[in-house]
Structures are given as C-alpha cells and as structure tokens.
Amino acid sequence: MIHILLSRWRQGHRTLPYPKTLPALPERLRGMPSLQGGACPAGCEACQKACPVEAIHPSPEGPRMDLGHCLFCGRCQETCPEGVIRFTRDHRLAVRDREHLQVFPGRELQLAAALEGELKRLLGRSLKLRVVSAGGCNGCEVDVNVLGTLAWDLGRFGIQYVASPRHADGILLCGPVTANMELAVRKTYEAVPGPKVVIAVGACAISGGPFRYQQEQRGGVGSLLPVDLHIPGCPPHPLTILDGLLRLLGRLEEEGRL
C-alpha cells in the first residue's frame, strides 16, 4: 500500500489544463494546412501529383484541398516548388458539414458550430458515445481511446464512452465501413435511442481514407448515416478530436476559450 501511495505522489497530478491552456504540440505536427493564393506557377500540378489520395487540385486561385480525403502526410508541401502549401500546427479541424472540409486560399475552415435546440439541451452537458470501429487500421481508435485516460480525462466534460448503444446518445465511428461491418454499423445505430448524433473520426470514416479505392469498403459512414461532426486526420491528434467534441457541445464557444 505504501508503495502505491509513494507512486501516486511521484506521478503527481497530470491532467492537462486544456481548455484553459493549450498543451504543447509537437514541432513537426501536421495540422491545418495554410494555402497561399495567387502564387502557383501556370500549369503546375506538383501537389496534385504528389498526393496519394487525390485530396488536392490546382485551380486559378490556388490549390483546392479536401481535408476529408487528406492523410496529412505532407507530400504536397514537400513537392510544392513555391511553398504555397504549409501544414501549420493548428489542431482545430472539425466541421459539421462534409462540404466545409473543402478549403482553398481565401476560404477559411468553418469550424464546427454547436448543436442547437433540443439536441443541445439534451446532450450539451452529458454526451454518451458508443464507439464503433468499422474497418480502419485501429489508429484512430488509439487516439479516441487516449481521451479517456487521466491525461485528457474526457469525463470532466460530461463525455463518456459507453458499452451499450442503448445507453448512448450517438455513435463515434472510425474506419471506412467495410462491407463486412455495414450491417453491424446499421444495427448499432438503430439500437441508439433518438435523438442521436453521428461523429466521423478520421479520413477513413469521412471518405474511406487510404482505402477509398477499395471495393471492400463503403467510403465512410456518410454513405450510410447522416453525420453531425467530421474530424479529419490520419489519425487526428487527440486534441483535434477533443476540440471537435467540445465544439459540437458548444463548450468552447460558451467559455470563450481557444
């Protein structure tokens, strides 16, 4: 017992002070890309050719990027001869509408707005989520899972992962939805009592991600169910996921933070 207490003392209190302050993010983190307008040489397609998932296309006003497809590998940034594309360390990436993930110079990312009306009243202070893993690589699950640990302590925001869909207010889905998981995803969704939300975490759940060309999958949860929140990344940083969840609940707006 004394050893446990000593360890407790040594390990200390490590829950991150977020959202009061932002935790340190790695220097090489690839977050929100910044796209510069009017600097692309005529006919240059370097970024388009470098992208393994066709997430980026040149246009007269500059590169147009679909963050729902983007794997944040940074190859476009590496190959761009003019430095037009630059991945910043801005972790905030979550949006409500799939269409909002289309960005180009002059169009800022429209970060997720809060739920409204009845849903906000019901879920704003207590959101129970059933996490469904549907055919990805288990990478997003790693960073979804980590939010439940002491460092992030998701529970302090009233958000909790629950074991049964019957206890849930919505589903949080990772993976492109493989053909073999389609029925299970539908059944899980149907088992959640309404009103309910659907949250797509990661490029796979939004668009099929690196597997988007595979016939064995359905190209994301949006092909089956209405999606209320899209959190891009491959996988998204835990802070990106948490930021998205808190925005959906209106918790960042109301507290005027970050």
42 lines the binding site for other proteins (CB under 8 A): no
217 lines the binding site for other proteins (CB under 8 A): yes
8 lines the binding site for other proteins (CB under 8 A): yes
125 lines the binding site for other proteins (CB under 8 A): no
The residue among 140, 192, 120, 135 whose CA lies nearest residue 162 is 192
**Please, which residues have CB within 8 angstroms of residue 59's CB and are 6 or more apart in sequence?**
104
Q: How far apart are CA 108 and CA 105, in angstroms?
A: 8
156 lines the binding site for other proteins (CB under 8 A): no
| Contact set for other proteins, span 66-95 (CB under 8 A) | 71-75
- Can you tell me which of 19, 37, 124, 139 binds other proteins, judged by CB under 8 A? 139
Burial string for 159-188 (b: 16+ CB within 10 Å, else e) reads bebeeebeebbbbbbbbbbbeebbeebeeb
Rg (CA), the chain: 19
How many residues form the binding site for other proteins (CB under 8 A)? Answer: 66
Residue with tokens 């668009």: 207
CB of 138 to other proteins, least distance (A): 5
Q: How far apart are CA 67 and CA 232, in angstroms?
A: 6
Region of 48-56, 93-101, 103-111, 114-122 interacting with other proteins (CB under 8 A): 48-56
Contacting positions for other proteins (CB under 8 A): 3-4, 7-8, 10-11, 14, 26-30, 50-53, 71-75, 131-146, 148-151, 161, 163-165, 175-176, 178-181, 183-184, 188, 209-211, 213-217, 234-235, 237-238
